[in-house]
Amino acid sequence: MTEIYDNEQNEIEASDQPETDSRLPADHPAMVTHHLGGMYRNWYLDYASYVILERAVPHIEDGLKPVQRRILYTLHHWFDNGRMNKVAKVTGQTMALHPHGDASINDALVQLGQKGYLIDTQGNWGNILTGDEAAAGRYIEGKLSALAQETLFNDKITRWKRSYDGSEDEPVALPVKFPLLLAQGTEGIAVGLNSKILPHNLGELLAACIAHLNGQPFTLYPDFPTGGLMDASRYHDGQRGGQIKSRAKIKKIDNRTLSITELPCGKTTSALIESILKANEKGKIKIKRIDDMTAAEADIRIHLAAGVSSDKTIDALYAFTDCEVSQSPNACVIMEDKPVFLGVSDLLRYSTERTRDLLKEELIIRLEEKREQYLGASLERIFIEERIYKDQPFEEAESEQEALRHVETRLVPFAHRFIRPVTYDDLKKLLEIRMARILRFNLPKHEAMMLQLEKDIAELEKNIREITAYTIRWFEYLHEHYAPHFPRKTQIIGFGAIEATKVAEANAKLYINREEGFIGMGLRGDEFVCNCSDLDDAIIFFRDGTYLITKVEEKKFIGNREVIYIDRFERNDKRTIYNVVYRDGKSAPFYIKRFNVTGVTRDKEYNLTQETAGSRVMYFSANKNGEAETVRIILKPKARQRVLSFEKDFSDVAIKGR
């Protein structure tokens, strides 16, 4: 029987479990005791670490998630033959390295192909504009792009590890020699954290790498494959807490037709159309119909109803639909087996300096190879010119070791010409020279080869000494050959926020029931006030000198007080002027005032008077264009009173705040 304990090590009894058989040994599986606290703690941490390190978050060394790295290595190792290869075939081969099924590999491969940097595609790979999915892997093909072949692979400088089942070697990280992570962007949700790095323009990234190596400042902004407009004033270098706003590009074909030609980041035409139709159903905008004419480029045609303003509709599309969206970056990467949060500038600096280190490592390896070639050519020339192979001790040697010792002795006078001490492996190579090669030995051709090797060695040594300049030339080469194929698609501009209430269609009506003290859009049959939308606020003035601003709802109680004015409220409206004459208290003097209301706290009650008990508004008017009328004041007759009435012009009174 299995005994189960909670975190406090208290036994939890289960009446439906069989009783312990005392005849079973203590180590029998049925007698094992498990502690839930330790089990779940260990399992959860193991799972969380696995998801963070091996699935969801890219590694800073090469900017790839493990599944992406395995796909690219598979394409390089098994399918780098210059021909297109079936995606299903690549997926199947990648499964030898990947602990998961083919679905995750196929999806990751399609996403890599859609980004356009590393894989040349053929067939239906889906459409990032419409959101259409790619065809099945058995129908589509792909191969490594020229950019991938030049920048991702070098087996001589790659660190290796065993695959999950120990059957294959796979790279710890690919030697990526450009800012791949920032070019492609990435998004992943792990356990307890997420990573979201927005894509950037390749040419701008390469220019920033050059600027960093030259000690110059640089600034990076996202660039989305769907184009659109972007406000990156709050991008904050892609760090946590930053934000960008992305808008669709909307053209006005005529006063009755609009066309969306570029999409905001992360949106497809189908998702955009759905959001527009929902806004139309809710009355936020008024459209006649909408057509999706997207092919190679986005083209969503919006036909407006008669009498609808196209300019106001464009603002409403940004305010109420997915034509404007916000994105919050979160540059999280794996660095030294830990998740860290950096800015995109930090990621670019790291990538640039790692590229410099990788290029230096490649140069050192190539230098050693050239030196080995030079040494081998020198030994071969001496072996042939000095006719060592014709020496009697060499020809009559009874063993290989005896022949090698003779060759070693004969080479001693020439030791000063060698770039390093001669080893037995070098001597063995001399014994492997065929007689036909000796007979065809051409001294002028050999000297030309030696001279070229000397030039190559000198050039490599210079590049290693001046590795920064060499790295700059590398980025300039990439910029010249590849950046023109990836022009910037997203236009960087600044746009202010659109106030939704100003562009919302007045799709409802506001009513008031004075007797019961209710206002709302659902009080049909009561006194009509004005047209409004469900986003609007209403301003209400009462006879006792108080007023408030409240949100328009279906039905709302405002109190059993006399309402002298109610209307739709517009914030920051300085044109509407309120003219008031009120009595301060029951028998105090009368006061006159002019004011506007540009903004208040919703549902907070304000007072026009001096808040004396019994105060009452005697005259009230609201003028949308700030007109100032004249009122006639009639005085109560008294003895010897000459003036019984006079006129007062409100224009004589200064306009002040409430």
pLDDT value at 222 more than 50: yes
**Predicted pLDDT of residue 500:** 61
CA distances from 231 to 86, 226, 235 (A): 41, 15, 8
Instruction: Say if residues 522 and 555 touch (Cβ distance below 8 Å).
Output: yes
DSSP code per residue over 432-491: T--HHHHHT--HHHHHHHHHHHHHHHHHHHHHHHTHHHHHHHHHHHHHHHHGGGS---SE
Highest mean pLDDT (candidates 147-151, 378-382, 620-624)? 147-151
**Predicted pLDDT of residue 1:** 37
**Predicted pLDDT of residue 30:** 57
**Predicted pLDDT of residue 325:** 94
**Predicted pLDDT of residue 4:** 38
**Predicted pLDDT of residue 3:** 40
Enclosing H/E stretch for 92: helix 87-94
pLDDT value at 493 more than 70: yes
- What band does 505 get if pLDDT is binned at 50, 70 and 90? low
Average pLDDT, the chain: 87
- What band does 647 get if pLDDT is binned at 50, 70 and 90? confident
The encoded tokens of residue 87 equal 């995606």
pLDDT value at 93 more than 90: yes
Mean pLDDT of the 202-226 span: 96
**Predicted pLDDT of residue 16:** 44
What angle in degrees, to the nearest 10, is found between the helix axes of 202-213 and 467-482? Answer: 160
- What band does 332 get if pLDDT is binned at 50, 70 and 90? very high
- What band does 470 get if pLDDT is binned at 50, 70 and 90? very high
pLDDT tens digits, 96-148: 888 878 899 999 999 999 999 999 999 999 999 998 999 999 999 999 999 99
Instruction: Say if residues 299 and 248 touch (Cβ distance below 8 Å).
Output: no
- What band does 497 get if pLDDT is binned at 50, 70 and 90? low
**Predicted pLDDT of residue 485:** 95
Residue type, position 354, single letter: R
**Predicted pLDDT of residue 31:** 58
Contacting residues for 106 by C-beta, under 8 A, at least 6 apart: 87, 88, 91, 137
Mean pLDDT of the 444-470 span: 94
CA atoms within 13 A on the CB side of 73: 28
339: left (phi over 0), alpha (psi -120 to 50) or beta: beta
**Predicted pLDDT of residue 90:** 95
Where is pLDDT greater, at 31 or 315? 315
- What band does 652 get if pLDDT is binned at 50, 70 and 90? confident
- In angstroms, the CA 19 to CA 265 distance is 62
- In angstroms, the CA 599 to CA 591 distance is 24
What angle in degrees, to the nearest 10, is found between the helix axes of 344-385 and 467-482? Answer: 110
- What band does 509 get if pLDDT is binned at 50, 70 and 90? confident
Mean pLDDT of the 634-639 span: 83
Per DSSP, the three-state class of 374 is helix
Where is pLDDT greater, at 531 or 202? 202
**Predicted pLDDT of residue 26:** 57
**Predicted pLDDT of residue 518:** 93
pLDDT tens digits, 553-580: 889 999 888 999 999 888 888 889 999 9
The encoded tokens of residue 155 equal 């087996």
Domains of the chain (ranges, CATH numbers): 48-209 (3.90.199.10), 225-345 (3.30.1360.40), 357-485 (1.10.268), 506-656 (2.120.10.90)
Which residue among 40, 44, 47, 139 is the active-site one? 139
pLDDT tens digits, 78-92: 998 889 999 999 999
Mean pLDDT of the 289-303 span: 91
**Predicted pLDDT of residue 37:** 63
- In angstroms, the CA 152 to CA 173 distance is 10
Instruction: Say if residues 377 and 371 touch (Cβ distance below 8 Å).
Output: no
- What band does 472 get if pLDDT is binned at 50, 70 and 90? very high
pLDDT value at 440 more than 90: no
**Predicted pLDDT of residue 150:** 95
| Phi, psi angle pair for 403, to nearest 5° | -65, -40
- What band does 17 get if pLDDT is binned at 50, 70 and 90? very low
Calculate what percentage of the chain has a pLDDT beyond 90.
Answer: 53
**Predicted pLDDT of residue 443:** 86
pLDDT tens digits, 43-74: 767 777 777 777 789 999 999 999 999 999 99
- In angstroms, the CA 88 to CA 433 distance is 47
Mean pLDDT of the 185-191 span: 86
- What band does 427 get if pLDDT is binned at 50, 70 and 90? confident
- What band does 502 get if pLDDT is binned at 50, 70 and 90? low
Mean pLDDT of the 631-655 span: 85
**Predicted pLDDT of residue 36:** 65
- What band does 251 get if pLDDT is binned at 50, 70 and 90? very high
Calculate what percentage of the chain has a pLDDT beyond 70.
Answer: 91
Is 619 catalytic? The answer is no
Instruction: Say if residues 355 and 61 touch (Cβ distance below 8 Å).
Output: no
CA distances from 270 to 277, 283, 289, 300, 366 (A): 11, 20, 15, 10, 53
Instruction: Say if residues 567 and 540 touch (Cβ distance below 8 Å).
Output: no
List alpha helices for 248-343, DSSP H: 269-281, 310-320
pLDDT value at 10 more than 60: no
